[in-house]
Amino acid sequence: MPKSRPEPGREHGRRGWNANAGARGRLAVASFVDQPRVTQMTADEETESEGKAGLMIRPVRAVDVPHVIALDQAITGLAKPDYWEQAFERYGRRRPSERFFLVAVPAEGKDVHILGFIIGEIRAWEFGSEPCGWVFALSVDPQARLHGIGEKLFVAISERFRQAGMAKMRTMVARDNQLHSLFFRGEGMMAGPYIQLEKDLT
Amino acid sequence: MNLQIASRLAIFAVLELAANPERQLSVAEIGEKYGISSHHLAKVMHMLGRAGLVRSARGAGGGYQFVGNKKRTTMLDIIELFENLGAREDEVAPGATTPEGAALRQVLGEIDGNARATLGSITVATLLNLVDRQHRRACGTQAACHLSKA
């Protein structure tokens, strides 16, 4: 009967949770719209937080990108270097007050071994929604799971959104993806006020 | 949506016991809090015991203890011990083979799918957190918030 509460990507082997897994723009919401800055963060410099396991959560760096690509490929089975380079440019370099691309790395050691990453941004007025934080990518190294890394990444980006003045954060999970739902539910997320609709065009 | 009474009782009993797995509670003690007959609850507890979620302890201080894994047991796991959620007789119901019947089944299937996804994604631990949140809200509106936890 029991199912384990997962960290994203764990249960499907090579198929991880990543709303951006498609080659182009499969974002959690329908479209990406450039928006004015909502708030200013106090600093763009690295913000670090160390956990019990000697974990550091910090903004992504250019040197991390190959490792992000490798981690994503290991989980999804698809190499998407162009996509992640673009994601780094968009979410790792631009508008740091409202776009957050965070990575989890060992607190000690000089290597840049990425244990996990999370990406999100503040969006406003899509579908009539007031500004809120959206999380649309979260991956954890399969070898490093069950150590709370996903949770630390989630908590870290939650704090970024909170510091940016957001009172709400959202994500989207496939309805039949029970284990990913378990993770986000376990972090306190509940169903939101929107219903995703789609139409078969074929 | 509505749950069958046995499912509700089972969820209440599991929450009560899982909130403090070291504690043993009798059927009467659980039943008293929720206004449930001991007779009805005893049947539910028996089923939960067979599923390995609770264990009856003998002796003077005997009662039930939660022995499941609250981080791994979902609401759906508990409910499906007592009812077949979403099981519909639409395919044999009058009009089921008509386009209208198929359209109705499609809509009801969407509702069932959402219900299963929701219940299957909420563990006992998550539900206990929601209970705590309700307590905290009550504390914000009541002077004697400790009473709400009694």
Q: What are the tens digits of pLDDT across the range B29-57? A: 999 999 988 899 999 999 999 999 999 98
Can you give the CATH number for the domain in which B121 is found? 1.10.10.10
Distance, CA of A86 to chain centre: 15
Q: Does residue A161 belong to any structural domain of this protein? A: yes
Distances (CA, A) of A179 to A8, A10, A174: 8, 8, 10
Beta carbons of A138 and A157 less than 8 angstroms apart: no
Condensed to tens digits (0 to 9), the pLDDT of residues A117-158 reads: 999 999 999 889 999 999 999 999 888 787 889 999 999 999
Residue A37 lies in a domain: no
Say if the Cβ atoms of B123 and A4 lie within 8 Å: no
Q: Which has the closest alpha carbon to B18: B100, B74, B94, B86?
A: B74
Q: What is the largest CA-CA distance in chain B?
A: 62
Helices (H), chain B: 5-18, 27-34, 38-50, 75-79, 99-120, 124-141, 146-149
Residue B70 CA to residue B66 CA, distance in Å, equals 9
**Residue A108 forms part of a structural domain:** yes
A171 in a structural domain: yes
Identify all chain B residues contacting A1, using CB atoms and an 8 Å cutoff. Answer: 51-52, 73, 77
Q: Kindly provide the residue ranges of all beta strands, DSSP E only, lying in A30-143, ordered along the sequence.
A: 55-59, 99-106, 116-123, 132-140
Whose CA is closest to A19, among A121, A126, A155, A161? A121
In a domain, A3, yes or no: no
Q: Span B90-99, mean pLDDT?
A: 83
Would an 8 Å CB–CB cutoff place B106 in contact with chain A? no
For A9, A28, A146, A187, the CA distances from A121, given in Å and listed in that order, are 21, 11, 26, 18
Q: Which residues of A88-98 are buried (b: 16+ CB within 10 A; e: fewer)?
A: beebbeebbbb
In sequence order, which residues have a C-beta less than 8 Å from that of residue B70 and are 6 or more positions away?
A: B18, B21, B123, B124, B125, B128
| A1–B73 C-beta distance less than 8 A | yes
pLDDT (0 to 100) of residue A118: 96
| Whole-number Å distance between alpha carbons of A115 and A57 | 10
Is B23 in the A-facing interface, judged by CB distances under 8 Å?
no
Range of the domain at A89: 55-186
pLDDT given for residue A147 in this prediction: 80
Above 70 in pLDDT, residue B72?
Answer: yes
C-alpha dist (Å) from residue A55 to A49, A144, A152, B78:
7, 11, 9, 36
Query: What does each C-alpha distance from A114 to A44, A110, A129 come to in angstroms?
Result: 20, 12, 33
pLDDT of residue A7: 46
- Is residue A24 situated within a structural domain? no
Which residue, A154, A132, A167, is CA-closest to A7? A154
Cβ-based contacts under 8 A for chains A and B: 44
pLDDT category at B146 given cuts 50, 70, 90 is low
Which chain B residues are closer than 8 Å to A185 by Cβ? 121-123, 126
CATH number, domain with residue A89: 3.40.630.30
Q: Which residues of chain A have pLDDT under 50?
A: 1-48, 50-52
Three-class HEC string of B94-136? CCCCCHHHHHHHHHHHHHHHHHHHHHHCCEHHHHHHHHHHHHH
Per-residue pLDDT tens over the stretch A66-79: 999 999 999 889 99
| Beta carbons within 8 Å of A85's beta carbon, 6+ residues apart | A65
Q: What is the mean pLDDT of chain B?
A: 88
ipTM of predicted assembly, 2 dp: 0.77
C-alpha A122: how far from chain center: 12
Tokens of B108: 């009801």
- Those of residues 62-81 in B touching chain A at CB distance below 8 A are 68-69, 71-74, 77
pLDDT at residue A54, as a whole number: 83
| Total domains present in chain B | 1
- Number of independent structural domains in chain A: 1
Q: Which residues form the domain of B58?
A: 5-149
Q: What distance in Å separates the CA atoms of residue A16 and residue A173, rounded to the nearest whole number?
A: 12
> Which pLDDT score, from 0 to 100, does residue B144 have?
53
Q: Is residue A50 part of a domain?
A: no
Question: 3-class DSSP state for residue A117?
Answer: strand
